[in-house]
Structures are given as structure tokens and as C-alpha cells.
Structure 1
């Protein structure tokens, strides 16, 4: 028997419950994993609190879009018992069971090896947030960004992926400029390496003109909407913005002028179905850039599986500063 925090579809709505399960309760999958840690992302908080229809799979389902664990068995030749693996994306915790369970079955090709330099807990401090941020930095570098290029703007910088982007850029030698509306996040962002901080209002109203003065050598955007439109108008010649969020809206009102007159690039970041070769490269880079001290600084708290329904409100209310890790086997 093992424990799982399952979401049940009841007459009162989607409700979380810590259940005792057996292996027969697990949905199909060729690789059986003992989950060690997960994390609480904004999407997880929405799912557990039933504030948004995140779940697209069959109920009951274990949410948790991140997991790290130890392989118990696998029918293929990709993994052996005892291998430590990381799972993010591929619909985990949305379409199929995710990380909020002590055991899970996952497709072998939806897992990557835990980097040797990271502990299981550290990998979940990183999680989808850090993985997405790393993909963003790598995409900018693929399109010519170097530390000598100039300042790189990060919007939504007080969020999980935004703050990770600030830290990764700083660790890689870039001048990171953090944009946030949370004044109490300024000190935290400075400790992560932000060179300076600008208020989100500088971007959120949209650009005054189709092309404004070129300020940014690159940008990581977690907001979308008018904020992304402003960044596009303010990019330097041949600069790029990596986009992965829509907290500011999913519509984008811009013109072709920055693209055809300055040669700027809009780079979409999809961490959910990212190919495995790219995943492995991103995790290797994360292992190389993030120090133990920095990961400790970015850990807001570690909670047990039964504490998740309460802890998600810290994420939704913006009370957490850093990442919440779930110790799945704890408690």
C-alpha cells in the first residue's frame, strides 16, 4: 500500500483527498517509480484548489506536474531498477497521474536521468519553473545572446519561472533586469543576482509606438499580453524575447515593424513536450549553473504530501517567495 493525494470529482466539485492506494489503482505505464519529491507550481495550486479546470484526465487523479524518484521496475531497456529519474511535462498531473503520490507509473520516454550533481530535493526546487527558465535562456543564446550583448529583461520576475530566469542569467554572466509589481520581492531578487529592478507598470500598458528605443539585448517574458508587446517594441536590433506565459493575457497586439525593420525574434518556449535531447541538455546546464547555496536560497519551504491542500494557498496568494518542495515520502 502507498499514499496518494488524489483529486476526486464530487457533487461539491473537485476535492483533494489523501488516500491509501495499491499498485492495482495505478493507471497504465511501462515504468513504475517510487516518487521521492515533487513541487507546487501555480498550475498545481489551481488544480488542487479547483480554481481552474487544469485536469483533463480521468478522475481520481494525482496532480503534481513535477516528480523525481527511483525506478522500481520498467518493461523496456531504457531504465533499470534503482535509476533516479525526473519527470516534468508530458501532461503529468494534468492528463495522467503526476507527482503527488508515493508510487506512479510513467512512460519511459517521458523521463530523464537525474543529473549526478543534483539531489532529488534540489531537482524539485528547480522543477518545471527552472526547466522552463533554462530553455528560455538557451533559446536566447541560440539566437546570438552573449553576456556582452547588454541587459536582459525578465518579466514576472517574482514568480517561480521568472525568478529562476533571473538566477540563471546572473549565474551565466548576464545583466539581468527584473520586472515585478511586488515590492517585497526586491531584496529576494537582488540576492538571486538581479542587477536592477523595474516596476511591471513600465511594460504592462503596452508600447506607446510600434517601435520604441531599443533597450534590451534579450528578454524572458512570463506575462504575455501588452507586456510582451512592449518588450518586442523595445528590443535592440536582432535581439530576441523568449515567451512562455500568459498571466497578462493570451492576445498579442503588435505590428510587424520590429520584426522586419530590426530583425527581432519572438521565441516560443514549450517545456511540456520539449524533445528529450533538449531536456537532457537543459538539465545538464541547470546542474552546472545552480549552486547548492543558491538552491537553498530559492527554497521557500518543504511540505509533506498531506500538507499540499493548505500549502497551495501560499502560492495562489503570492505569500511564498521561492519554491515549495513536496517531500512525498515524508510524514
Structure 2
């Protein structure tokens, strides 16, 4: 059986090329479960893997795509049988292992999660790693006592994939959401997702000498890191929590320990790649109930496999808003 896949190659000079090819099923890697992929999506990591790799890709030729959803066609594991709907995010699939930019994938059973009732494969990829990470961040804030009654929640990088879904989830749960963006044209989009306030990036991007400022935020989902995260820590309410999900603004943290010592602020690291199975099931169940699917339509940009090299370059430049959903069969 043959299938289409987006193949990335690197020549001896280090030049990277990507294009759609037809492969035989025998080319699939080893694994317990074979899946007929229906949809994938585009994340920042995918942009790296479609280009020079950023050190993520080990061997070429390679099939990127860190997320996919589809239907099991063959399984050597009792947990899955042909016809089961499944979703995969993380586990370095699409980086070290062949991923979802193909009509077929073969992976370890431990990496899969049953697709929750009420979610289609397309819905799941409108969510993808970005939405899964956003839900993990919201759950972490809840687990540390953040409630709508305690005050507004800040979302940085709000027009990106994680920020968009976090904004929609938090608003749906009754939080007052303050959305940070450097793109004024995104204000209407963010308001449509439920943001009640738009914060200009320049108003919060720079560090200040004062380790503490006015107490503004009960919680924060931060996709930026760097100087912005440092600034936000000094603006948190007493006992507030920040869920750190990204580093679009840099990996450094030019902060002091004062917010932690004097206000009891919590800085919560959110990892979605190696997350245990039980957490994944819990998060996907919450996505099915607490993410308003009608809001997803405002975030989605459909794409085909052939369009991904260009879109991968765009996402690395911050030029992709919301979620790209890839129909691998188009």
C-alpha cells in the first residue's frame, strides 16, 4: 500500500528541501500501531523541522508533524483495535520519529490517546499540541488555587496558537482575560475569543528596576518568557501563579526572587512532550467539555501537505495567527 508524505531531506552541504512524495507502507518505522492519519497541524517545532531542523531532527529523510489524529488500521497492542479514533501529541514524534505529515503513521501504543467523545479528528488538530498545552496550563493554574473570583488572568502571546486556545478556555470558564499582543490588528480576533481587555506588548515587555509593582493578575499563561515574564512576576497578586509554556521572547529570565518570597508567587513549568498518559487523558477530556468548539472556527487556517514548507517558514517569523489544520488527504 502506498501513501503520500511530506519528506524533508538534507544534502551533504546542509541544504534542506521538502516536498510531497509517494511512499510504500514498508517505509514506515517500527511501532505497535498503524494509523490512517486524517489531520495534522502546524507548530513552531514543525517550522524548525521543516527547515534546518534546529537540532531536533536526527536523521534524514524525515517526516515532520508533531501532532496527528486519525483511525487505527492495525495494532499489535490490546489497547487499540482497527477502527479506533486516536490522537497523538508529543513524545518527540515528528522530531526524532516520523510524524503526522503523511497519510499513514506507525508509532508506539504508549504514545496514543483515545479521541474523546464529542471531538472529531479535525477538532483535535484544531486543538493540537498548542491547545493541549493551553489546557495543561489552565489546569495547573486551577490546581494552584486560581479561580475567576480571584481576579483577571493575563495571557501573553495571546494571538499565537497556545495563547488563542488559552484565551478561549479561560473566557469560557468565566475568567476575566487580559490578552497581550504586539499586533493591534489582532484585537478584534482576541475579543472574539473572549478577551475582555487587550494589553499592548510594549506596555509590558520591558523589565523595570522595581522587583514588585501593583498587584494586577491572579494568574498568567505565559508563552513569551524573557523580560516579559520577569515583568509579569512582579505584577502578580499575592499567591498568584504563572504557567510558563513558551520562550518566544527568549530563554533568559532577568528576574529576582522577591515576588516568590514576598508575595508567594508560583512559577509553574508546563511540559507537554513527555506528559504522563493519565494527565493526557484528563486534559483531552477537559478540552472536550471546556473549550468552546465554535471559537475554534475563528482560529483555523486550513492547509495541505504541499503548503507546509511555506507555512513553516512563516510560523518561525511569527506570521501565523491561530491554528493551522492540515488535511493530509487533500
Q: By how many angstroms is 1:77 displaced?
A: 0.9
Question: The residue matched to 2:17 in structure 1 has which SS?
Answer: strand
Name 2:199's counterpart in structure 1. Answer: 198
Deviations 1:227-269 (A, max 9, x none): 1111111111011000011111111122221111111100000
CA drift at 1:41: 1.3
SS of the residue aligned with 1:324? strand
Distance 2:180 2:165 in 1: 13
Q: Tell me which residue corresponds to 1:150.
A: 151
For 1:84 and 1:114, locate their aligned partners in 2 and report how far apart those are by CA, in whole Å. 5
User: Unmatched 5+ residue regions in structure 1?
Assistant: none
Q: Secondary structure at the match of 1:148?
A: helix
Inter-CA distance 279–207: structure 2 relative to 1 (3 Å threshold): farther
Q: Deviations over 1:291-318 (max 9, x none)?
A: 332121221x212222222333443444
Which digits, 9 at most, give the CA deviation of each residue in 1:37-61, with x for residues without a partner? Answer: 00111221232133x5253332111
Equivalent residue, structure 2, for 1:329: 329
Shift of 1:203: 2.0
SS in structure 1 at match of 2:324: strand
Q: How does 1:210-225 map to 2 (within 5 A)?
A: 210-225=211-226
DSSP 3-state at the match of 1:57? coil
Q: Does 1:36 align with 2:21?
A: no
1:24 equivalent in structure 2:
26
Partner of 2:302: 302
User: For residue 87 of structure 2, what is the aligned residue in structure 1?
Assistant: 86
Tell me which stretches of 4 or more aligned residues in structure 1 moved more than 4 Å. none
Structure 2-normalised TM-score? 0.96
Q: Which residue of 1 aligns with 2:279?
A: 278
Q: Is the 8 A contact 1:70 1:85 kept in 2?
A: yes
Q: For 2:42 and 2:274, how far apart are their aligned partners in 1?
A: 20
Q: Give the whole-Å Cα distance in 1 for the aligned partners of 2:321 and 2:256.
A: 36
CA RMSD of aligned residues (A): 1.4
How many residues get paired?
328
3-state SS of the aligned residue for 2:148? coil
State the match for 1:49 in structure 2.
51
Report the Cα distance in structure 2 between the residues aligned to 1:215 and 1:240, rounded to whole angstroms.
12
CA contact (8 A) 2:213 2:235 kept: yes
Alpha-carbon separation, structure 2, partners of 1:222 and 1:319:
16
**Displacement of 1:17 after TM fit?**
2.0
**Distance in 1 (alpha carbons) for counterparts of 2:59 and 2:317:** 28
Distance 1:25 1:291 in 2: 39
Change (3 A) 1:96 1:269: same
Output the CA distance in 2 between the equivalents of 1:318 and 1:213. Answer: 30
